[in-house]
Chain A
């Protein structure tokens, strides 16, 4: 069984300006010290900073790469997801990279940040991007 830790900057509001902002640099010692297989990280928002920041700390771990923002109404394109993952391949091997949204689509039952149709569109594009990436890098 695989274990992971998910970290984000808040997912209760669509107002980006109320959610936390800053890269993972202050948490790198923590990343290196905990005994889990994977860190599941927000990376679809600029508030999360650059992927290079976590590269060294996660060199021998998996990264659950956030490739879609759960709080927006438009699905990220397959091409944009592929491009983001390929940028991460400068630091990670294909087997280290999982593709996931930045966070859940409804962490608080009566404060869900999206609707089902949009959520379906977003995960459909994640799966499509993964198929392309496997063809190209498999």
Chain B
């Protein structure tokens, strides 16, 4: 009872952000980046053990953000900053103004844009799970982007229409991928899988409160 855990992500150190930038620019190998992230994850896990948390997370230290990271694992995706995406939009000025109002820096937030048929090159989060399992015997929680968030963010018409006829077709593919992942996480001994759907509130609240999101 009163089990304690986290939603998933943990602050990133300056060192990790430097490594992430180098990796994204192709100047650091994924292996070298992971070596840095291993150290950061160890510290994050130790903080949770010291605090006495029950269900441990990896702090998403390997992830650019909680949904864009799938570009590391899925064929048919491309990591694009919101600034990169602006050029494809019909109402570029309107989107820029919205980002400004929302306090979102277009260059700092990146999106997993679907640019071709999706295929799972490797599991999305089994590597994260296995690493934390090496550090503790406590149960481990893994967060995955939910199917609605992932479909909605991945769909950027100018790129995605070449591969999928509409959002529904893309969504069915996303669900298939997440289902496979769920089964593999279960088989690998994951204790808790949480699907993140932060923009569901936008669907139902946006009109009422006159605020929105950029995802």
Q: Does B48 lie within 8 Å of A123, measured CB to CB?
A: yes
Measured between alpha carbons, how far is A98 from B213 in the docked complex, in Å?
27
Out of B13, B52, B185, name the residue touching A116 (CB < 8 Å).
B13
Q: How many residues of B contact A (CB 8 A)?
A: 62
- Stretch of B117-125, B166-174, B191-199 lying at the A interface: B191-199
Q: Does A27 lie within 8 Å of B201, measured CB to CB?
A: yes
Q: Does B205 lie within 8 Å of A26, measured CB to CB?
A: yes
Which residues of B sit under 8 angstroms from A91, Cβ to Cβ? none
Measured between alpha carbons, how far is A126 from B47 in the docked complex, in Å?
13
Measured between alpha carbons, how far is A104 from B60 in the docked complex, in Å?
9
Does B65 belong to the interface (CB within 8 Å)? yes
Does A19 belong to the interface (CB within 8 Å)? yes
Q: Does B12 lie within 8 Å of A112, measured CB to CB?
A: yes
Out of B12, B60, B192, B205, name the residue touching A20 (CB < 8 Å).
B205
Least CB distance, B84 to chain A, in whole angstroms: 15
- Chain A binding site: helix, strand, loop or mixed by DSSP? mixed
Measured between alpha carbons, how far is A70 from B60 in the docked complex, in Å?
15
Q: Interface residues, chain B, CB within 8 Å of chain A?
A: 1-13, 16-17, 20, 47-48, 50-54, 59-60, 63-66, 101-105, 108-109, 143, 146, 182, 185-186, 190-198, 200-202, 204-206, 208-209, 211-214
Which residues of B sit under 8 angstroms from A15, Cβ to Cβ? 103
By beta carbon, the residue of chain A nearest B16 is A109
Q: Interface residues, chain A, CB within 8 Å of chain B?
A: 1-13, 15, 18-22, 26-27, 30, 36, 38, 40, 64, 66, 70, 85, 93-95, 97-112, 114-116, 119-120, 123-124, 126-131, 133-134, 137-138
Q: Does B201 lie within 8 Å of A9, measured CB to CB?
A: yes
20 contacts between A and B (CB under 8 A): A2-B192, A6-B8, A6-B143, A6-B196, A21-B211, A27-B200, A36-B195, A38-B192, A64-B5, A94-B2, A106-B9, A106-B11, A108-B66, A109-B63, A120-B50, A124-B52, A127-B4, A129-B2, A134-B2, A137-B2
